[in-house]
Structure 1
Amino acid sequence: MSWTPGYHLQSRPYIIESVLGSGGFGITYKVRHLEHNQYFVIKTPLDHLKHDPNYAEYLRRFQKEGEKLKRLCKAPHRHIVQVIDFFTEDENPCLVMEYIPGENLYQLVKQQGALTQTQAVKVICQIGDALIFMHQAELVHRDATPLNIMMRNPEEAVLIDFGIAKGINPKTSTQTDIAGNRSFAPYEQVGRGSREKTVDVYSLAASLYYAVTGECATASLDRKMFNEELVPPSQLNPSISDRLNQAILKGMALEPEDRPSSVREWLSLLGTSTKTNQNKEVDQKSTLPLSVVGTSQLKNRRIAGFAVVMLLVVGVPIGISLLPQNPPTEDTSISNLRGTAAKTLEPPPAESLNADYSQLENLLKDGKWKEADSETLDVMLEVAKRESEGWLNSESIDNFSCADLKKIDQLWVKYSNKFFGFSVQHRIWLSFKIKTDKKLGERLGWKDKKKGNWLEYHSMTFNLSAPVGHLPLGGNDFMMVMRFDSWESLFSRVQTCNL
């Protein structure tokens, strides 16, 4: 049960003041210490996760990294929020941290516009110094974004919300934290949950991009999958130096091997030197040429990273939390939308059936539809040999083994009594005279007809009361971006394989 304001903890002398926020894994409370009359923050896992079959593993990792952070903070770092204690309350692990009043960097920029180059570089260098300190302790933050950079005062930034749960993605998680920070995350983190230090390099560079332009950068997943361009920050703010522009672009290189291998190396591109002896400030003597940025100088562009429809590339949504920037307002055929004719069907490749389908069959037989949905994606990635990528592109769908696709579909159709399956979805698709993702989404129950928004993955119906064809979705807590040719790839393959 979530704690309400006024609740007195039994294990420690704290009283709950308010809820500060919650994400896919944890909930954060503002608390007051009854003896010292000081405010602190307590983070604990969401109560409903206790029903997740992997809850024990989540707790083990939460406690392991929580204890590691506690030890790390025995020698406090000026720009890292301090971890005060780690204890258990009613079997709930609790991480106690210092409370930092004020606003985060994201709010600051939203309110007053882009920062001056002086201020932006200073803030990012302070957070960079904090990340170097964490990396030396073999901890990767994995969410060093403007939302987690608190401004203790206009001159001092503090990194909060450690990534202790960032590699923990319960099936019951909404993953709104991931969706909200998509513009600051490299694609290998979004798709595979990478815990490499280059993840923090990318996030820090993307945060600097936002700080000096006032806008979020093009999402890395869009760049990877659909070759969308990363607009150089100098195009949005011509007053920044070329050195700063190039440093940001280098830190946001799409492939991890093309980025600096460490935060220290990336900071050197800014012309700064760092001192990582815990409390020492980042040396700002050799920072870049400085210039003031006014919000009127910046182009009026939309923040693309927070307005993307999140769907799996095989053509089925797996967790949509925000509306598309330019959703179709009327029915239009796929060919017209893409400006191309439909693909010519090709003969199927050699049959494989090398995957083990016993787990999928058992889950479907037991009516565990959500778990079966997740298993479906796993076996499809195995068949396509794309486990490392974590998603299926159009090419892999076009060449997907017909024998395996038939096997997967047959299992879904059999155990759902012809209620679910790719072939069921395909027949519904063919029934439309004018074919659009909007019509299909509404028919299959993936899109709210009244509100017009795509549903989040956790809001899908994982039982036989769902609309016909509702499953499989391609279950995965990480959201991918969908394009019309992905629908065509999936349904073309279904037709070619005679499902």
Structure 2
Amino acid sequence: MSQCLNPDCLFQNPSGYTKFCQKCGNKLLLGDRYGGQKIIGQGGFGRTFLAVDEYKPSKPPCVIKQFYPQFQGTSSIQKAAELFELEAVRLEQLGKHSQIPDLLAYFSQDGRQYLVQEFIDGENLAQTLESKGYFSETQIRNLLNNLLPVFEFIHSRQVIHRDIKPDNIILRQDGQLVLVDFGAAKYATQTALAVTGTRIGTPGYTAPEQANGKPIHASDIYSLGVTCLCLLTEVEPIDLFDDSEFEWVWRQHLKTSVSSELGQILDKMIQPAIKKRYQSATEVLQALGNQSPQPRPQPSPQPSPQTPDSLKSARGVDYTRLRDLLAAGKWKEADRETEGVMLKAAKRENERYFDSDSINNFPCDDLRTIDQLWVKYSQGRFGFSVQKKIWLEVGGKVDWDTEKKLGDRVGWQKGSWTLDFYLLTFNLQAPTGHLPRFWVWSAVGLIGIGPLMFFSRMESCKL
């Protein structure tokens, strides 16, 4: 079947008709390439069609979104058009993540806007809830561990989704969760955060500050927490909150038991007061990790009495957890922990970013301790001193050309792309110098890869 995209027609043409609609004569191929198959969704902004890419031999499925607002008012339509265009922009910027749909095309045809995106084979969590019933604690933990790294990714790009809910999370056939519908997404620049904006979101899932037009990264955390409550209880958010007492009563609606540890995490995610809520996806992941039993380290990498680890710190930082994670071979968690302890050593844990002074005056004892732990437990494969040696070999400068050469050597580059955190290799088969590789942030955003920005300090510390 070939679906006509003309909103005044929408005729289903018999198989074999791929050029013009039998009923209205409208061109059936969008951009002479994408052929609609059937309508799979519609709302206030327009319709969504399942389609195929006729240019490719395998004719893979894709999704066409058509902007065709059903409401009246010039200002409302103009705002909706802006949001539709912004969704295309967001997908272009974020779609390189495997858990965000890739943007395939964006253009106008017959006076209407269209975007074409990757088809995600699976059902959204609202459909899963309806077909299979409430989620267990294990499923909720898996959901959080699967989806929070995606939040880290979009928030690191200064994007707030603003419409997290079961309908916008798809469980793909491979078991991965995919975040969709970036039509409400907003840039979280310092200027934007200071200005009251358009009130966007789904009632019940929306954080109080977002409902007042001032969303922040923690607003998405709130919405994800509410999503978890709905999945646990099969109850809508409005019935999980007691307005008279101004408190959540989700435990009264539970279908299965939830541990106090997970309950406390969810309670903090849905705190109406921003300061009492988790501020980032990383904080939630750390809380989940801290609540989970830590595997016992294997005997072979355990420090022996003859060669104890030096956990020396000039700022009183406790490196025990970093040591234990490295000893257990938990490289991904150790990379996150490295960023955390370095912020503490720089006395920047409140700011959550480094500035030039904190880098230039970073305590040498702490830099040496962190490096020695990485080198020891990776058997010489990972660590700042390993990376610095390679950096000197490729030019020893802090510039784009040297960064690319270093990235090629240690596996941080793939062609012209710098790999994001979730694409790194967290095992000993990774290239020499691959880890650690946290990001360094400034007050205005990303300024570079952590180790690269600290190389000059390593020189002065004689690492």
TM norm structure 1: 0.48
**How far did 1:150 drift?**
0.8
**How far did 1:117 drift?**
2.2
**How far did 1:119 drift?**
2.4
For the pair 1:254 / 2:276, whether they are aligned, the reply is no
For the pair 1:277 / 2:299, whether they are aligned, the reply is no
For the pair 1:139 / 2:159, whether they are aligned, the reply is yes
Match of 2:245 in 1: 227
**How far did 1:280 drift?**
5.9
Once residues 219 and 45 of structure 1 are traced to their aligned partners in structure 2, the CA distance between those partners, rounded to angstroms, is: 33
Match of 2:68 in 1: 46
Residues 1:154 and 1:282: Cα distance change in structure 2 (over 3 Å):
farther
Once residues 159 and 185 of structure 2 are traced to their aligned partners in structure 1, the CA distance between those partners, rounded to angstroms, is: 12
Match of 2:109 among 74, 79, 89: 89
Match of 1:188 in 2: 209
1:320-339 CA-to-partner distances (Å, cap 9, x unmatched) read: xxxxxxxxxxxxxxxxxxxx
Once residues 240 and 99 of structure 1 are traced to their aligned partners in structure 2, the CA distance between those partners, rounded to angstroms, is: 34
User: 2:124·2:171 contact (CA, 8 Å) conserved in 1?
Assistant: yes
1:393-472 → structure 2 map (5 Å cutoff): none
For the pair 1:103 / 2:123, whether they are aligned, the reply is yes
1:453-497 CA-to-partner distances (Å, cap 9, x unmatched) read: xxxxxxxxxxxxxxxxxxxxxxxxxxxxxxxxxxxxxxxxxxxxx
Q: Percent identity?
A: 26
Once residues 34 and 258 of structure 1 are traced to their aligned partners in structure 2, the CA distance between those partners, rounded to angstroms, is: 52
Quick one: which amino acid aligns to residue 209 of structure 2? Answer: E
> The residue matched to 1:270 in structure 2 has which SS?
helix
Bigger shift: residues 133-142 or 78-87 = 78-87
User: 1:42·1:94 contact (CA, 8 Å) conserved in 2?
Assistant: yes
Once residues 135 and 239 of structure 1 are traced to their aligned partners in structure 2, the CA distance between those partners, rounded to angstroms, is: 32
**How far did 1:219 drift?**
6.0
Match of 1:199 in 2: 219
Unpaired runs of at least 5, structure 1: 168-176, 284-499
User: 2:34·2:54 contact (CA, 8 Å) conserved in 1?
Assistant: yes
User: 2:91·2:101 contact (CA, 8 Å) conserved in 1?
Assistant: no
> The residue matched to 2:122 in structure 1 has which SS?
coil
**How far did 1:165 drift?**
6.8
Match of 1:149 among 169, 174, 178: 169
Match of 1:426 in 2: none
Once residues 10 and 209 of structure 1 are traced to their aligned partners in structure 2, the CA distance between those partners, rounded to angstroms, is: 41
Quick one: which amino acid aligns to residue 267 of structure 2? Answer: L
**How far did 1:263 drift?**
1.8
Match of 2:282 in 1: 264
Once residues 197 and 77 of structure 1 are traced to their aligned partners in structure 2, the CA distance between those partners, rounded to angstroms, is: 18
Once residues 187 and 26 of structure 1 are traced to their aligned partners in structure 2, the CA distance between those partners, rounded to angstroms, is: 28
For the pair 1:59 / 2:203, whether they are aligned, the reply is no
Bigger shift: residues 80-89 or 43-52 = 43-52
Higher RCO (CA-CA < 8 Å; seq separation 6+): 1
Match of 2:37 in 1: 17
Once residues 97 and 30 of structure 2 are traced to their aligned partners in structure 1, the CA distance between those partners, rounded to angstroms, is: 30
> The residue matched to 1:103 in structure 2 has which SS?
strand
Question: Which one has a larger percent strand, Structure 1 or Structure 2?
Answer: 2
Quick one: which amino acid aligns to residue 243 of structure 1? Answer: E
Quick one: which amino acid aligns to residue 52 of structure 1? Answer: T
> The residue matched to 1:120 in structure 2 has which SS?
helix
**How far did 1:241 drift?**
1.3
1:315-372 CA-to-partner distances (Å, cap 9, x unmatched) read: xxxxxxxxxxxxxxxxxxxxxxxxxxxxxxxxxxxxxxxxxxxxxxxxxxxxxxxxxx
Once residues 174 and 111 of structure 2 are traced to their aligned partners in structure 1, the CA distance between those partners, rounded to angstroms, is: 39
User: 2:160·2:186 contact (CA, 8 Å) conserved in 1?
Assistant: no
Matched positions, count? 268
Q: Please, what is the CA RMSD of the aligned residues? A: 3.4
1:25-40 → structure 2 map (5 Å cutoff): 25-36=45-56, 37-40=59-62
Residues 1:142 and 1:247: Cα distance change in structure 2 (over 3 Å):
same
**How far did 1:136 drift?**
1.1
Match of 2:183 in 1: 163
Bigger shift: residues 2-11 or 197-206 = 2-11
Residues 1:245 and 1:12: Cα distance change in structure 2 (over 3 Å):
farther
Match of 1:216 in 2: 236
**How far did 1:107 drift?**
1.6
**How far did 1:106 drift?**
1.6
**How far did 1:121 drift?**
1.4
User: 2:51·2:62 contact (CA, 8 Å) conserved in 1?
Assistant: yes
Once residues 425 and 231 of structure 2 are traced to their aligned partners in structure 1, the CA distance between those partners, rounded to angstroms, is: 20
User: 2:45·2:69 contact (CA, 8 Å) conserved in 1?
Assistant: no
User: 1:184·1:219 contact (CA, 8 Å) conserved in 2?
Assistant: no
> The residue matched to 1:20 in structure 2 has which SS?
strand
Once residues 424 and 249 of structure 2 are traced to their aligned partners in structure 1, the CA distance between those partners, rounded to angstroms, is: 35
Bigger shift: residues 63-72 or 28-37 = 63-72
Once residues 207 and 57 of structure 1 are traced to their aligned partners in structure 2, the CA distance between those partners, rounded to angstroms, is: 27
**How far did 1:99 drift?**
1.1
Residues 1:282 and 1:50: Cα distance change in structure 2 (over 3 Å):
farther
> The residue matched to 1:69 in structure 2 has which SS?
helix
User: 1:183·1:219 contact (CA, 8 Å) conserved in 2?
Assistant: no
